Structure 1
Amino acid sequence: MSDKIGPFLGTWILDTSASEFEQGEPPKSASLKIEDNFGMVIFTMNQIDVEGLVTNDTFEAVPDGPEIKLGKSGLVDAMSLRFEGDRNLVSDARKGQLTIMKADRELSQDGTTLTVTQTVHLVDVDSFTNVTVYRRAQ
């Protein structure tokens, strides 16, 4: 597994000018750190919104492994993480039997850009897609 996850590992910095937000305001700045802890992939996200509010979040899962039960936010019950080919790392979050969020992390051919297409389905409201572009930190 670590051979497949290797290209995704590292710290990624959000390029707000290359990103598109259907839901929410673009943050002032954001970073995404992806680490491998003996097969468990740890995602750490840090964000500063336009008003200066700092948000930090983390989650972990095993790619192509069992679904992970979540209870922290109450918004979702479980999450799964899987590889789709060599350049896409995809997570699905669900509430009950309904998938309410999908995040497709696509790595560029040269490994310097990570494009995250995240779709959120708000039941009985609408679906929104944010496309965030991250550049590998030097």
Structure 2
Amino acid sequence: MEDKIGPFLGNWILDPDESEFEQGDPPKSATLKIEDNFGMAVFTMNQVGADGEVTNDRFEAVPDGPEVKLGKSGLVDAMRLVFQGDRNLVSEARRGGLTIMKADRELSEDGSTLTVTQTVHLVDVASFENVSVYRRAQ
């Protein structure tokens, strides 16, 4: 994997006070781990919701690689991960060729903060944007 992924790698901790959610309540706590596995970017997310429910999720993709077809999850059928400049790593979840979820991970200039702007498009309803601010774990 190119060095472009290097600055994004590591463990990140959510700063709930700096995060803003249009859809749902912000979690009580969350962590994000980004790793390089032989050219594959691996994202591991763990969070404790406002209601105390624990959610763990993981996905992987090749940055700037081809769109990846996904199994029949019912919600999305394909995903892609791309760099937009040096400080933005964007994933798009697609269904039927349309982007329905987008996560733009913007790295601060000093590399200490990762701001994840997640946009969800509900067809024929509305779009919602949640902004999660993560601080690099020391």
**TM-score normalised to structure 2 length:** 0.97
How much does 1:50 deviate?
2.0
SS at match of 1:7: helix
> Alpha-carbon deviation of 1:51?
2.2
* 1:63-82 aligned within 5 A: 63-71=63-71, 73-82=73-82
Q: Is the 8 A contact 1:2 1:36 kept in 2?
A: no
1:28 paired residue number: 28
The secondary structure found in structure 1 opposite 2:82 is strand
TM-score where L is the length of structure 1: 0.97
Amino acid at match of 1:105: R
Residues 80, 93 of structure 1: 8 Å contact kept: yes
Alignment coverage as a number of residue pairs: 138
Structure 1's unaligned 5+ residue stretches are: none
% identity of equivalent residues = 80
Tell me the distance in 1 between the aligned counterparts of 2:16 and 2:4.
27
1:96 and 2:96 equivalent?
Answer: yes
Q: Distance in 2 between matches of 1:52 and 1:80?
A: 31
Give structure 2 stretches of 5+ with no counterpart. none
Output aligned runs, 1:1-20, within 5 Å. Answer: 1-20=1-20
Following the alignment from structure 1 to structure 2, what is the Cα–Cα distance between the partners of residues 134 and 110? Answer: 13
CA deviation digits over 1:64-112, x for unaligned, max 9? Answer: 0011122263210010000011100011111102110111100000000
> What residue in structure 2 maps to residue 40 of structure 1?
40
* Secondary structure of 2:3's aligned partner: helix
CA separation of 1:111/1:39 partners in 2, compared to 1, >3 Å: closer, same or farther? same
Q: Which amino acid aligns with 1:92?
A: E
